[in-house]
């Protein structure tokens, strides 16, 4: 039996470490997982990106085997993943890959693929695999559906979904990589009062202002990397920019804009990613 799952990347509106409330919006960076079920044993995952192959952690293989068994398949699972998201960058590649696998597994088994169900199962797989600190329900939803999602990650509840019709782009720079182990959650929680201001902005519908404040606070929580700070400052000075910040725990820095060329010029060109925001309007 064969199945295919497709998802996309996302950028942060709210980092959930400090308050438990997270927010994200999808971007047009695609992930595809082809899932084949057989009568053998074990789980095999081969993951390919333009930046080279990615070796899946053993705990992810174990989590996928758990999900397959929960869904009624006790045999082997062979998975081929192709991802257009830079790994370990903060652009929700883990959520997107996990959800593509979940969606592909459901497809192979002939089961329905409601986006909320896929996102919820994806969070459980990510938790079992040790890929998330907060549960990342916001990231999970943003990689399978369109619009801005503000969620209570502890309660696995959507607080607000915001759709928009504007043609907006994320211009993304990825200066290096950052592992989940390198992040001190206490540095985020120390700024919880400030993060709550960003939460209130997002819940009121001002997701772009929340995104910028969140990015500045995340820079503070992760040590004020001078290159990232400079990129954010230059982006906010460029015409057409409505928000700029850091996605996830970094290192990806992004600007949301109507004029991606102006941001690219402000950043001096280089190896940038430009992807459309998936607003879900219209």
Question: In this predicted model, what pLDDT tens digit does every residue of 165-204 receive, in sequence order?
Answer: 999 999 999 986 655 556 799 999 999 999 999 999 999 9
Task: Give the mean model confidence (pLDDT) for residues 45-55.
Answer: 92
pTM to 2 decimals? Answer: 0.94
CA-only gyration radius of the chain, Å? 18
Return the pLDDT at 134. 73
Determine how many CB atoms are found less than 10 A away from the CB of residue 222: 20
What domains, with CATH codes, occur in the chain?
2-161 (3.30.230.10), 164-276 (3.30.70.890)
Determine how many CB atoms are found less than 10 A away from the CB of residue 281: 11
Return the pLDDT at 101. 98
Task: Give the mean model confidence (pLDDT) for residues 129-147.
Answer: 91
Question: In this predicted model, what pLDDT tens digit does every residue of 62-73 receive, in sequence order?
Answer: 999 999 999 999
């Amino acid at each position: 039996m064969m199945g295919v799952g497709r998802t996309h990347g996302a950028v942060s509106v709210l980092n959930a470490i400090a308050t438990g409330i997270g927010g994200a919006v999808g971007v047009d960076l695609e992930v595809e997982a082809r899932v084949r079920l057989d009568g053998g044993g074990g789980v095999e995952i081969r993951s390919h990106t333009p930046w080279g192959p990615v070796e899946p952690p053993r705990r992810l293989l174990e989590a996928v085997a758990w999900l397959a068994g929960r869904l009624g398949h006790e045999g082997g699972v062979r998975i081929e993943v192709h991802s257009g998201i830079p790994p370990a960058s903060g652009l929700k590649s883990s959520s997107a890959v996990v959800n593509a696998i979940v969606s592909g597994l459901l497809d192979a088994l002939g089961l329905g693929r409601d986006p909320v169900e896929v996102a919820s199962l994806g969070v459980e797989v990510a938790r079992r695999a040790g890929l998330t600190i907060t549960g990342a329900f916001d990231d999970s939803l943003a990689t399978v559906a369109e619009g801005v999602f503000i969620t209570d990650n502890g309660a696995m509840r959507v607080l607000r979904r915001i759709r928009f019709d504007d043609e907006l782009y994320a211009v993304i720079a990825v200066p290096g990589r950052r592992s989940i182990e390198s992040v001190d959650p206490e540095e985020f929680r120390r700024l919880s009062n400030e993060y709550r201001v960003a939460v209130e902005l997002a819940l009121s519908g001002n997701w772009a202002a929340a995104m910028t404040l969140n990015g500045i606070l995340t820079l503070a929580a992760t040590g004020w990397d001078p290159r990232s700070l400079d990129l954010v400052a230059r982006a906010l000075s460029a015409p057409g920019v409505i928000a700029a910040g850091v996605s996830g725990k970094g290192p990806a820095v992004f600007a949301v804009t109507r004029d991606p060329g102006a941001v690219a010029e402000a950043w001096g060109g280089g190896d940038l990613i430009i992807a459309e925001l998936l607003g879900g309007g219209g």
